[in-house]
A = this chain, B = another copy of it.
Amino acid sequence: MSLIVQKFGGSSVADKDRVLNVARRVVQTYKEGNSVVVVVSAQGDTTDDLLEKAAEITSNPSKRELDMLLASGEQISISLLAMAIKTLGVNAISLLGWQAGFSTDEIHGAARIRKVKADRIKQELEKDNIVIVAGFQGINKYDDLTTLGRGGSDTSAVAIAAALRADRCQIFTDVEGVYTADPRKVKNAIKLKEITYDEMLELATLGAQVLNNRSVEMAKKYSVELEVLSSLVEAPGTIVREETTVEKMLIRGVTKDTDVARISIIGLPDTPGIAFKVFSKLAQKNINVDIILQSVGRDGTKDITFTVSRENSAQAEQAIKSLSSCKDSQVVIDENVAKVSLVGAGMETHPATASRMFEALYSADVNIQMISTSEIKISVLIEKEAADKAVKAIHNAFFD
């Protein structure tokens, strides 16, 4: 008998038919002889509807009160799912975040889980209940409700799996697993059987929106074995764990990220510490910088180019212009770019990988603007319009 944590997102419980479908999936796992804890998000558009109710009252709602409001969404979905499971003749009980033992810090709207005191969950499992837990929420030390921010239900599920030392944490989504490229765009994309946490993190960061990043980080920290699988199609998904047994395929996938902007600062004084000044200013403003390129100094000036996420580009420009060292420089922003990345373990030790990737791009007539490499990925910045073509070309080079 195994202990399985299953997480279903909002679209999986959007209406009564889907709630009943999830109930059947959960009961099936239970009837196979497992103990089951289920984490669910709010139904379909509930969160957006609640946000609209708040927006009708004020454009700047109190974050504490917004958490109070939003946490009602999962309260509805967990009680409905518990009712649905009971109609199938199996015991079930729903628990709110605080009842399930979720303590968080005080940051309303983006709280971090401090601890999961899973005594109540254990008690209910011992009473042979399927336990339904409200994802996305907890309480802080003042006993006030907090929410973990969007996508937080994945993190809730992993945290419970860690606290209970569950055998597996299954994340049900609208895709069947993790693919070597977006299967809607690249028709010969392959579903991976296994992948490591680090590879999964790179894929998530690079735009493959399968799992919330924080949940993967937490799964890595507590060695929780994850499985990403479809809530609609019954088929094995992709397992995420530390050591994968399938080693023959080094390359895990090709992703693109179009939510990126390139910022160039042209004509900076070629003096020591100038890069430090620019990037510490950006760090102060909580702006993450990705690929960085610095030109060689010439005529006493140099250029620095880097990428940020698109929503931060205006703020980044403002921050740079506020620096006295940059007062004579020109700031150019280009949002017509995309980052395309190849992800896989052991890439560093296979120098041929990069050249094969660049060759594929060259053959497809894609111009590379910037390059960045790490142990498990190679990213290039290219013109946005060429992104899909580039993904296909790289994918074909490695998976055909």
Contact = CB atoms under 8 A, between A and B. Distances in A.
A58 B87 contact: yes
A53 B80 contact: yes
Contact of A75 (B54, B68, B84, B99): B68
Contacts of A75: 68-69, 71-72, 75
A214 interface: no
Interface stretch (A59-67, A161-169, A231-239, A246-254): A59-67
A314 interface: no
Contact of A84 (B16, B57, B93, B96): B57
Nearest to A80: B57
A20 interface: yes
Given A75-B75, A143-B99, A57 B69 contact: no
Give the residue among A16, A53, A64, A84 with the most B Cβ atoms within 10 A: A53
Interface on chain A toward B: helix, strand, loop, or mixed SS?
helix
A65 B87 contact: no
Nearest to A86: B62
A278 interface: no
A56 interface: yes
Contacts of A99: 143-144
Contact of A93 (B16, B64, B71, B82): B64
Interface of A: 16, 19-20, 50, 53-54, 56-58, 61-62, 64-66, 68-69, 71-72, 75-76, 78-80, 82-84, 86-87, 93-94, 96, 99, 120, 143-145
Given A65-B82, A69-B75, 12 more contacts: A53-B80, A54-B80, A54-B83, A58-B83, A58-B87, A61-B83, A66-B83, A68-B96, A69-B83, A75-B75, A99-B143, A99-B144
